[in-house]
Structure 1
């Protein structure tokens, strides 16, 4: 199917492509480089987009000497008939740091995200509540507070969206939603 990205299974082929991307980053190929001994930990999510070949859009967790990281990478897999002699069949075309690994607190970040999304639903007047799909990253706030910045993927009806949530610890192991906004070009909602 041509067009926008669609969800893809996390299978052996996806892991092979993720390993390729991490190796490209580790060795500084394709004008992208991360210093240190970068190793793939796991693939968090995968999407595919059919173009002249296939774009594999992956969110991966990798670790290096500085600790775990969450990365978003795009690997273009060329059509076999268009691969020239001595040319690689895949190319790393996009890379960005999403944040430290969401597993850095594991259950704690998941609980914080669930409570943040529940509070987001309380503030919404929609008939369709947001459902938490996954925590993409969790980053301690750098303003000296105990706040944590979470990047989460949610579903509302059939539509999937990403939100940036700021939560702070409250009494009885609960979290309070401080602020939220839709992530990237989807507009602000605070």
Structure 2
């Protein structure tokens, strides 16, 4: 697991960090499974990413820019990564 600084609390993560990208892709897959849209969500970019690491697990709080059909939108997501390396989308909401 990647270390994001020392001490407890949320730390900024580079948006191209592989762990942040994995978490973003997992969030998108989860959102797609819950959606009844004919158009799939496509990840355009990770706009902002923060992580809080505790022992062997991590939480990612990210702002994603996505595209669905011709519409672009931003989504605020929280993804947890457990000690086994599995991701779980904890929260998703439109960013206004």
Note whether the superposition's TM-score is higher than 0.5: yes
Secondary structure, in 3 states, of the residue corresponding to 1:128? coil
Which residue is equivalent to 1:108? 19
Please give the root-mean-square deviation of Cα atoms over the aligned residues, in Å: 2.4
Give the structure with higher Rg (CA): 1
Which residue is equivalent to 1:35? none
Q: Which has the higher contact order (CA 8 A, sep 6+)?
A: 2
CA contact 2:13–2:20 (8 Å) conserved in 1: no
- Offset, 1:174: 2.9
Which residue is equivalent to 1:136? 47
Larger relative helix fraction: 1
User: What CA deviation, in whole Å up to 9, does each residue of 1:151-176 have, x standing for no partner?
Assistant: 11000001111000100003642311
- Of 48, 59, 76, which aligns to 1:164? 76
List alignment gaps of at least 5 residues for structure 1: 1-98, 185-190
- Offset, 1:146: 3.5
User: Under a length normalisation based on structure 1, what TM-score does the superposition of the two structures give?
Assistant: 0.39
User: Under a length normalisation based on structure 2, what TM-score does the superposition of the two structures give?
Assistant: 0.74
Which residue is equivalent to 2:87? 175
